[in-house]
Chain A
Amino acid sequence: MLNTNIFHGTLVRLTTEDPETAGKALSGWACDSEYTRLLDKPPALLWSAKKIQSWIENSLEKGFQNGFFFEIRTLQEDRLIGFVNLIWLSWTHGDTWLGIGLGDRAYWGKGYGTDAVRVVLRYAFTELNLRRVTLGVFAYNGRAIRSYEKAGFKVEGRLRQYIARDGQRNDMIVMGVLREEWLPSAV
């Protein structure tokens, strides 16, 4: 039997937003530099809502970086709290990278991110029928690492001293989950 709504988890659902709404949200979240530096490698930057909106519009036409992009809303209050994406997807090898950001820090550490990761893994494994999902996370982001482990990811190694910030160098940890590892814990 088909799962009734694969976009719904227990705390959140995956949505898509108008480029204007998404642009405003993403631009606003980026004003929190801790969020940006936990999230990604490029220098923390403040892009306007208008600029981000135009990127989103562009990717709607051209397709999003060989992958899929969702926003995350809470089920209870229908509040837009973050995004999750699958990028650099390889159909030939059945592998993709996962990225997630909870821009609204009121929702950190409460299981919303883990729930969104679970939903997108189910999407990757049972809708896209991929074989594995990969992600990179910085060693200084312990909360994210624990969340990914809860969702089924295993550490596959560390790119040593990859990230230079605040005068220190930190490893980038690469994690992966295979479909057959994920299946027993799922459904």
Chain B
Amino acid sequence: MDIHTSLYEGRLIRLGPIDHEKDPAIESKWTHDAEYLRLLDTAPARPVSPVEMKKKYEAIEKNIEESKNQFYFTIRLRSDDAEQNDRLVGFARLYEIEWNHGVSQIVLGIGDPRDRRKGYGTDAMNLLLRYAFAELNLFRLSTLIPEYNPGALRLFQKAGFIEEVRRRQALNRDGRFWDLIHVGLLRDEWHGA
């Protein structure tokens, strides 16, 4: 891996910019799947319309420009099939970056259930880690994973993240309590280091 190795091109997917015309309708569709929202976030699940999604993208780009404490990528398919090539399958984000400590939160999501378990998440994770550690020169990454999302825990553990904190019964969903797990990865522990 060197200066000639693309930061954005993975094996199966690539990291790309937001497409303000096409992406809002697709991501809006994902948010009508409550399971997706609840695996991803602890905020109350709520479908988001394409118009609102468009505003969200604009707010993200404005925030990147002004506060410079987050980076946002769309995850898009790489394919020889022109129909499939560049199709939006997910997003990847580094946010709440604290530059003085070299730390950041990391999150990624694959929107359509049919696009999961195909290696896209792992591929995007590898690109995002290289971006964080070898381009931004961050020192550590953190994320929060609900106890009821073992798939995400496996994905992050496979990438080298270590369970650091279990906030006991921090989540209340479907009439029961779940732990909220914090995992972290230091630059030295990164497989690409």
Contact = CB atoms under 8 A, between A and B. Distances in A.
A92 B178 CA distance: 13
A142 B186 CA distance: 24
A132 B172 CA distance: 11
A66 B160 CA distance: 34
A111 interface: no
A2 interface: no
Contacts of B186: 160-161
B21 to A, nearest CB: 33
A108 B103 CA distance: 30
Q: A interface, by DSSP: helix, strand, loop or mixed?
A: strand
A42 interface: yes
A93 B172 contact: yes
Contacts of B171: 93, 95
A169 B187 CA distance: 13
Nearest to B172: A93
A184 interface: no
Interface residues on A, range: 20 to 34
A163 interface: yes
Nearest to B189: A160
A174 B165 contact: yes
Interface stretch (A20-28, A79-87, A117-125, A151-159): A151-159
Q: B interface, by DSSP: helix, strand, loop or mixed?
A: strand
B170 A95 contact: yes
A178 B169 CA distance: 8
Contacts of A163: 101
Contacts of A90: 42
A150 interface: no
Contacts of B140: 160-162
B164 A160 contact: yes
B102 A164 contact: yes
A132 B164 CA distance: 19
Interface of B: 42-44, 98, 100-103, 139-140, 142, 162-172, 177, 182, 184, 186
Given A95-B171, A156-B166, A174-B167, 18 more contacts: A41-B98, A41-B100, A41-B101, A92-B43, A93-B170, A93-B171, A95-B167, A131-B172, A157-B163, A157-B164, A159-B142, A159-B182, A160-B186, A161-B139, A162-B103, A162-B140, A164-B100, A174-B182
